Structure 1
Amino acid sequence: MRFSSIRTTAGDTLAVRLEDGLHDLRAIDPSLPDGVGALVAGGPDLMARAGQAAKDATAASRLDEASLSYRPLIERPGKIICIGRNYAAHAREGGAEPLAYPDVFMRSASSLVAHGEPLVRPRASDKFDYEGELVFVVGRKARHVRAADAYGIIAGYSLFNEGSLRDYQRKATQWTMGKNFDGTGAFGPDLVTPDELPEGADGLRLTTVLNGQVMQDGNTHDFIFPVARVIEILTEAMTLEPGDVVVTGTPAGVGYARNPPVFMKPGDAVEVTIEKVGTLRNTVRDEA
């Protein structure tokens, strides 16, 4: 299944993407929540109810996609955990050898924007870089999970464009400031349940296209730390909870490593595509 958090003229709702388009699940079952965050927090039984409702979709439940907008897939995750330098080629283009233990840092909910919404280049910097990434969303509370058991905690997968302010990322030894400017991280459009993808979302091509030019072209098979290993590492330290978001790292081809560097600017259009997962599209604007 493919679930989305949608805003319509009638209010917020939970949608499912079927072959003929998006359908309003609350029009079919009004007891369902109004977004993916609450759906995932409700656990596997609620996810199953939403899947059952999708089977009852009709023309009456189909949404007019021209008159709706997306919300960030999960608007206020408990945690947004990011894995840095998880592709060897990306580590090397930044001047580092592949790591034996991943860089782990956090993003805030205020940094999120939705599919179709503009990314915000802040007043403070014009070094605004793109990073196409695979996301997984946690569906079950988990601590001390072995890699062999890890896939059972995943509710689904999605896409992220982790806009990074490279000069602020490097002002200190920690990356937090450069990764948390408001409106710099695009998230969505759909939560794709694991049954629709290879185990661990392995072997999927990932591209980032800026103004029609392919800038990143990688494959999730090239993770240094695959999804199961990431879960094992994270749950050694912390409890993962339903609705937590884990952003798994970006492949080579980022803007700062190019000669000359390429940074996003107002009016740009950027698309992150992962095969079988979908495409995340955004434009760029300056901070008001």
Structure 2
Amino acid sequence: MTRLATYSVKDKTFFGAVTDEGMIALSPLFPQWPTLYDAIRAGGMKELVAAANGKPVTHTDFSYEMVLPDAPRILCVGVNFPDRNAEYKDGSSQPKYMSLFPRFASGFTGHDRPLIRPPENHTLDYEGEVAIVIGKAGRRIKTEDAYDHICALTLCNEGTIRDWVRHAKFNVTQGKNWDRSGALGPWLVPFEKAAQLDEARIVTRVNGEVRQDDTLKRMTFPIREEIAYISTFMTLQPGDVIVTGTPTGAGARFDPPRYLKPGDVVEIEVDGIGLLRNGVEDEQWA
């Protein structure tokens, strides 16, 4: 399984292929693509995969970065598992249409880096999700053609400051975009067959305790429908990221709530994609 990541060494950022021994730097081989996002925009995923074969490891001491730190469009699907709507306990029926909201790259960090809890509010919560990366542009994409537009998969901890999603009546944007409150990574896995999504199970653990455990096939709005619906009102472009929805079991839904605190470790795992792990730290703000 090819794994493509963005990583840093001594304040220099590279993209490359992950191996069990370390990183194979690919960015020096493709100067026309300054970032992994640029490579995707240019339709270069297959070239990157081919270039990684047989190349020696370049770096063994590195830090993961958010996998697409310059992605300008990250769209998230909310309340997308059958039990999630009931968790809100507001008496509402299952919605006819999917809920959507934007996230910005600044709100995410990389694998094995801490999620940051801000001093203004301590209701930092986790949400384990699969994210897809668009590889082929399209508008009004048919459901049956949707998978043809995906080039890669990754994982997301869609970290949320819960109290701040309630600051306004019709949006959750401010609770979803605190700097480094979530994580996206560790890497991109090329999307090659439907089973990578249709048979996927997502598990979220906090300090080793399973909090979320569900299959993507139980989504209220399957990924094919997400792509079709979103592409109705906007042209999807290569490099766009869709964060597809989280199962029941987030910390806010316990009684009392079980929000993240410094020292906690959150792991999100999907077979065939990988494991995304993050600790939690308080923001250091002078």
Global fold match (TM > 0.5): yes
1:224 alignment counterpart? 220
Corresponding position: 1:147 with 2:143? yes
Give the secondary-structure state (helix, strand or coil) at the position aligned to 2:50: helix
Provide the alpha-carbon RMSD of the alignment: 1.7
Q: Deviations over 1:200-250 (max 9, x none)?
A: 611211111111111111111111111111000001001111111110110
Q: TM-score, normalised by structure 2?
A: 0.92
What CA distance in whole angstroms lies between the structure 2 residues aligned with 1:255 and 1:26? 39
Q: Deviations over 1:174-218 (max 9, x none)?
A: 1111111111120001111111x5346112111111111111111
What CA distance in whole angstroms lies between the structure 2 residues aligned with 1:276 and 1:200? 7
What CA distance in whole angstroms lies between the structure 2 residues aligned with 1:78 and 1:240? 12
2:283 alignment counterpart? 287
What CA distance in whole angstroms lies between the structure 1 residues aligned with 2:231 and 2:4? 26
Corresponding position: 1:165 with 2:161? yes
Q: TM-score, normalised by structure 1?
A: 0.92
Shift of residue 98, structure 1, vs aligned partner: 2.7
What CA distance in whole angstroms lies between the structure 1 residues aligned with 2:49 and 2:32? 11
Shift of residue 4, structure 1, vs aligned partner: 0.5
Give the number of equivalent residue pairs: 280
Shift of residue 25, structure 1, vs aligned partner: 2.1
1:79 alignment counterpart? 73
1:54 alignment counterpart? 52
Corresponding position: 1:40 with 2:36? no
Shift of residue 263, structure 1, vs aligned partner: 0.1
What CA distance in whole angstroms lies between the structure 1 residues aligned with 2:98 and 2:239? 22
Which of residues 268, 273, 283 is equivalent to 2:264? Answer: 268
Change (3 A) 1:198 1:144: closer
Corresponding position: 1:7 with 2:8? yes
Q: Deviations over 1:15-41 (max 9, x none)?
A: 1124654322246x3546353212211
Identity across the alignment (%): 34
Maintained 8 Å contact 2:138/2:149 = yes
Change (3 A) 1:32 1:7: farther
Corresponding position: 1:23 with 2:19? no
**Structure 1 counterpart of 2:257, which letter?**
P
2:239 alignment counterpart? 243
Change (3 A) 1:176 1:26: closer
Q: Deviations over 1:88-120 (max 9, x none)?
A: 112212224432210011112221111111111
* Structure 2 alignment gaps of length 5 or more: none
Maintained 8 Å contact 2:147/2:194 = no
Corresponding position: 1:212 with 2:208? yes
Maintained 8 Å contact 2:75/2:103 = yes
**Structure 2 counterpart of 1:188, which letter?**
G
**Structure 1 counterpart of 2:37, which letter?**
G
Change (3 A) 1:175 1:142: same
Maintained 8 Å contact 2:201/2:214 = yes
What CA distance in whole angstroms lies between the structure 2 residues aligned with 1:200 and 1:150? 14
What CA distance in whole angstroms lies between the structure 2 residues aligned with 1:190 and 1:74? 9
What CA distance in whole angstroms lies between the structure 2 residues aligned with 1:52 and 1:118? 33
1:258 alignment counterpart? 254
What CA distance in whole angstroms lies between the structure 2 residues aligned with 1:10 and 1:181? 23
